[in-house]
Chain A
Amino acid sequence: ETGVTQTPRHLVMGMTNKKSLKCEQHLGHNAMYWYKQSAKKPLELMFVYSLEERVENNSVPSRFSPECPNSSHLFLHLHTLQPEDSALYLCASSQGSGQYSGNTIYFGEGSWLTVV
Chain B
Amino acid sequence: EDKVVQSPLSLVVHEGDTVTLNCSYEVTNFRSLLWYKQEKKAPTFLFMLTSSGIEKKSGRLSSILDKKELFSILNITATQTGDSAVYLCAVGSGGSNYKLTFGKGTLLTVNP
Q: Describe B's contact surface by its main secondary structure.
A: strand
Q: Which of A78-116 contact B (CB under 8 A)?
A: 90, 99-110
Chain A CB within 10 Å, residue with most, of B31, B41, B42, B96: B42
Do A55 and B88 form a contact, CB below 8 Å, given A43-B102, A102-B31, A106-B45? no
CA of A56 to CA of B101, assembled, Å = 13
- Given the complex, which residues of B lie within 8 Å of A106, measured CB to CB? 45
How many chain B residues touch A (CB < 8 A): the figure is 23
- Given the complex, which residues of B lie within 8 Å of A100, measured CB to CB? 98
Interface contact A41-B31, CB-CB below 8 Å: no
CA of A42 to CA of B6, assembled, Å = 11
CA of A40 to CA of B41, assembled, Å = 15
How many chain A residues touch B (CB < 8 A): the figure is 23
Interface contact B97-A55, CB-CB below 8 Å: yes
- Given the complex, which residues of B lie within 8 Å of A56, measured CB to CB? 97, 99
CA of A30 to CA of B97, assembled, Å = 16
Q: Which of B8-28 contact A (CB under 8 A)?
A: none
Interface contact B42-A42, CB-CB below 8 Å: no
- Given the complex, which residues of A lie within 8 Å of B34, measured CB to CB? 104-105
A2 interface residue (CB < 8 Å to B)? yes
A45 interface residue (CB < 8 Å to B)? yes
- Given the complex, which residues of B lie within 8 Å of A4, measured CB to CB? 42
Binding site for A on B (CB under 8 A): 4, 31-32, 34, 41-45, 48, 88, 90, 92, 96-105
